[in-house]
Structure 1
C-alpha cells in the first residue's frame, strides 16, 4: 500500500513531536521534516525539495513557514497550519494565501476565538485540537515525600513569573522547611535574545540575588533542561503554572499525567482547558491549597483522576484520530467551541 507522505515544516517542532511519532506509528504515513532556522528563515532549496515530495504539508506555527507554503502549495496537496498564540503578535497570518490552506488548527478554544477575532479566518477552515501529552511515558510512581516538592517547568521569559513561584514556595517553607522548589528548563542566560533585553536581564538578576541571599536558597533547585521530564516529575507533588498568559501551557497537564496536583494562576482562556478547581487567583490561594491538601487526614484528590482527565482530553489516541480526519477526510465545517467544566 502506498503511504501518504506528510511533511512537517517549522522552526520549532517540539510540540509537534508526539503527533509526528503517533502518525508514523500508524504504518500508513511516511514523514519528513523541513526544519526552519527562524520564523522566516529557511533553506529555500531544501523546502522546494520537500514540497515536491509531500502529499500533505503541516506547518507547525503560522509564521513565515505558513506564508511560504501557502504561496507554493500545489493543487493536489493538502496544507494544514497549526497555530499556538504567538502568531497573534505578528503580521504573518495576514500574508497567508488562505485559498491554499485547507485547515487551520488552534490548540485551545480561547485561542481559536482569538484567531478568528484578529484574523477573521473562515470558520469552515478552522479546527480546535488540544496539545498532546504522552500520558503513558509520564505515568510513573511518585518518590517518597513528593508532596513537599513544588515544580515549575520553563521559566523564560519573564512572563512565566518565576518570582510568583518563589513567593509561594517561600511562604510554604516558612511553615515547614521540608518544602522544596524544583525548576526545570533553561536559564535565561542561555537565551541570547532574552539576556540582551535589559528589562528581562534585570528581572532575573534581582530574583537570583533574592534566592542567593535567602535562608532557604538550598531548597530551590535548578535542574536544567533535558528530555528526562518523566523522571523529573516523579519527585514532584505539585506543578506550578504562574504565567501572566499562555496559549495552552503543557506543564500542568504533564504534571497531572504524572499524578502531580496542578496549581494554576488563572490566565485568559485557562478555563477552556483546565477544570475550575485547579484555577487560582493569587499566591495566597496556592499556599492555602497546598497546606489544605497536605494537612488533610484523608486524601483530598485522587492522582488517578488527574491522569484520566489528561488522557481523555489531551491523550495521543484521541488527537491522532482528529489529525487523521484532517489528513484524509473531506473538508468539513466542524467547529469545536466547547469549554471544560
Structure 2
C-alpha cells in the first residue's frame, strides 16, 4: 500500500438523526411536486437505499428520470372523486378550507388521493424535495407521519459515491490503513456487499491489509466481500481470503480454512488446465498463504505439519498445481564463458564457490571462514541486488511462485544474468530453504555442485514444497529431528539427494574460559523476544527459584520484542510484560539488548536456559553450555513427538516441566555439584559439537569431497 503525500479521504458519513437511522431500515417517502426534483437528489436517495431503507417516490406532475430506476416503489398523486363512505367521512371531517383546495396544489391533491394517504401514513418519515413540496409537507404529514429534517440528509449522497471514490483512490495507488478505517466507518451502514465492479480491488486491498498486520481494518471490511459470483474460481478465492483474514485477526485456525484451501486448489487446477499461468500462480499464492499461515505453525505449541502432515497437506499434494510445482526440471547446460576465467578474478585451477547466506546470514560465517582458509578455493558471497525484497525471507510472495510455475510448465528462467552468475561457479552453498533458495536453484545450470542447509522454520515453510530437489546434490540438516521432519514432508522427492546431519558451528572466540562471581545464581537466555522462544516459561522457572532464594536472577540477551503484525505475537508480548511485573519475578530480570559481545554474559551465567517451543539446534544454548553453564532445556513442544531435544542433547539436560527445570537447577546450585555438572557439560559439547569440526566437514560437503558422509 502506498503512503500518499496527502492521504485521500471520503465524503463525511451520515449520522443518526431524530428521524433517519443509520442502522435500522426504515420506510420513507420522497415527496416532490414535480418528479424532476428527484433527479437532483439522486445521490441521497441512492445512499439511503444502499443502507437498506425502502423509499417510495410520491409526486404530482412529470415522470421520474431513467436514472432513478433503482427506486421501484412509486406513487403519482391522483386526486379524484370520493365515493366510498370512509373517504367521504374523511372529507367531511377535514376543514373546508382544505378539502375544497386546488387540485393542482400538492397538499390538496394528496388529501384527495386515499392511496397516497395510505403510503404517507405507513412511512417512518417523509422527505420533501423542492420548494413546493417543502411548503406542503407539514400539512401532508400532520397526523400521519413525521417530516425528515433537511439537515438529516447530509452525508447520504456521499455514501452513494463511496465506491466511485474507493475505485478512484485504488487506481491512484492511494489506499492505506487510514483510508480503510474511513471506508469501514461509512460502509458499516451498508446492507449489501460492494458492487461487482470494485470487488477485485477490494479483495486485493483486504489481502494487503491482512499481510501488513492491519487485521482490525480488514475484518471491518469483510462483510463487503461478495461470496457469490458467476465465476466459481473467484468465489473460491474470496472464500479463502475470508478464512485468511479471520485467522489473522483471531490468531487461531479459522474453522473454514482447510475446506476453503481444498476448494481453491480445485479452482486453481481448472485455471492451470486453461493455460492461465499468471492467474494460477496468484491463486496458488493465496492457497499457500493459508496452508502456511504464520498463526498455524511458527510460534505454537504444536503444528499440523508435525502432528498430522499427511492429513493437513492431503489436498495440496493431490492437486495438479502441487504436482506441477514439484515436477523436476532438468538443468540447462552451463553457459559458455566468453572470457578466460582469470579475467573474472579467479585462478584457473581454483574451485569457485558461491555462498547464498539466506534469511539469517549469521549462521554461515564459520563455513565461509573454513572455505576461505583453503588456498585452492575462491569464495563469493552472493548479493541479490534489485531482487532483494522478493527473495529474502520465508513469507509467501507471488513473484517466486509464478517464476517457479512458469519454469515447471516449460518456460525458461527469466533472469539470464543470474544463470550466468551461477554458471560461473563450481559449487554453490545455499543456507536456508527460503525464497532465495527457490529462485537460485531455478537458475543453477548443469555441472554446478549444489549444497543446501535447512535450519528450522524453513522446514515448516511453503518453499520446502516448491524447490526442485532434483537440483540439490547434498542436503544438510542441523539435527536428526529436523531431518526426520523434512523426510516425512518430502518423501521420495529426496531420493536423488544425499542427506547429512551436521551441527551448527560454534565461534570459539565468543566462549570464555572461566566464570565471574555470582554465576551460580544467574540464569541466561540468548535470543528471547519471540513467542517461539517462550520467555514466560523461563520467568515461571525464575519465580519458583526466587521463592527458594531471592538472589536468583535471569539475564535476557538480545533485542526486545518488535512491534510485529501477528495477532498471537502481540498478545504474547502483552502477556509477557504483565508477567514481568508479578511479585515473584519483579526486579529479578536483567535485559542486555542487542550485543555482538556475549562473552561477559556467558561468563556471568551458571545456567543457560532454552525455554523454546521449537528449536532445530539452539545455538545460543550450546554457546552457553560450551562456557560451562549448566543447561536446562525444555522438551521443545513442537518437536516433542520426535524426541527432538533428547536426541540432540544428553538426556539429563532436558526437562518436561517447570518443576523439573527448578529441580535440575537446585540440584546444581551449590559449588561442588555445579562444578561437576559444568565439567560434564563442557565435555559433552566438545564431543557432540566441536571435535568433529562441523564447519570443516560442511566445507568438504560443499566442495563435493564428502559424499561418503551421507546418511
TM range (shorter): 0.7 to 0.9
Does the 8 Å contact 1:57/1:77 carry over to 2? yes
The aligned residue for residue 307 of structure 1 is 682
Following superposition, the deviation at residue 311 of structure 1 comes to 2.6
Q: Which moves more between the two structures, 235-244 or 80-89?
A: 80-89
Q: In the alignment, what sits opposite 1:240?
A: 609
Q: Give the TM-score normalised by structure 1.
A: 0.88
- 2:479 aligns to what? 108
Structure 2 residue runs without a partner (length 5+): 1-346, 394-414
Q: Which residue of 2 aligns with 1:5?
A: 352
8 Å contact kept, 1:134–1:315: no
Preserved CA contact (<8 Å) 2:536 2:579: no
Native 8 Å contact 1:34 1:46 kept in 2: no
Q: Deviations over 1:205-234 (max 9, x none)?
A: 222133235364322011111111222211
Q: CA RMSD in A?
A: 2.6
User: Cα deviation per residue 1:245-283 (whole Å; 9 max; x = unaligned)?
Assistant: 211111221111111010001122112210001011111
2:463 paired residue among 92, 106, 111? 92
Q: Where in structure 2 are the equivalents of 1:1-341 lying within 5 Å?
A: 2-9=349-356, 10-35=358-383, 37=388, 40-41=391-392, 47=418, 50-120=421-491, 121-122=494-495, 124-189=497-562, 192=563, 195-214=564-583, 216-267=585-636, 268=639, 269-295=644-670, 298-299=673-674, 301-315=676-690, 318-329=693-704, 332=707, 334-336=709-711
Runs of 4 or more, structure 1, over 6 Å off, are none
Q: Check 1:161–1:46 CA distance in 2 against 1; reply closer, same or farther (3 A cut).
A: farther
Cα 1:98–1:298 shift into 2, 3 Å: closer
Cα deviation for residue 94 of structure 1 reads 2.4
Specify whether residues 3 and 57 from structure 1 end up closer, same or farther in structure 2 by C-alpha distance, changes over 3 A only: same
1: CA distance, partners of 2:620 / 2:496: 29
User: 1:161, 1:242 within 8 Å by CA — same for their partners in 2?
Assistant: yes
Aligned length: 332
- Relative to structure 1, is the Cα distance of residues 23 and 331 closer, same or farther in structure 2, using a 3 angstrom cutoff? closer
Q: Which residue of 2 aligns with 1:339?
A: none
CA distance 1:114–1:321, shift in 2 (3 Å): same
Greater RCO, 1 or 2 (C-alpha within 8 Å, sep 6+): 1
Gaps of at least 5 residues in structure 1 are 337-341
Cα 1:327/1:210, change in 2 over 3 Å: closer
Q: Work out which of the two has the higher radius of gyration on C-alpha atoms and give 1 or 2.
A: 2
User: Which has the higher mean CA deviation after the structures are superposed, 6-15 or 208-217?
Assistant: 208-217
1:27 deviates by 3.1
Q: Secondary structure at the match of 2:550?
A: coil
The alpha-carbon deviation at position 165 of structure 1 amounts to 0.2
The structure that is helix-richer by fraction is 2
How far the C-alpha of 1:3 sits from its partner, in A, is 3.1
Question: If each structure's strand is expressed as a fraction of its own residues, which one has the higher value?
Answer: 1
CA distance in 1, matches of 2:554, 2:360: 28
8 Å CA contact retained: 2:557, 2:594: yes
1:237 positional shift: 0.8
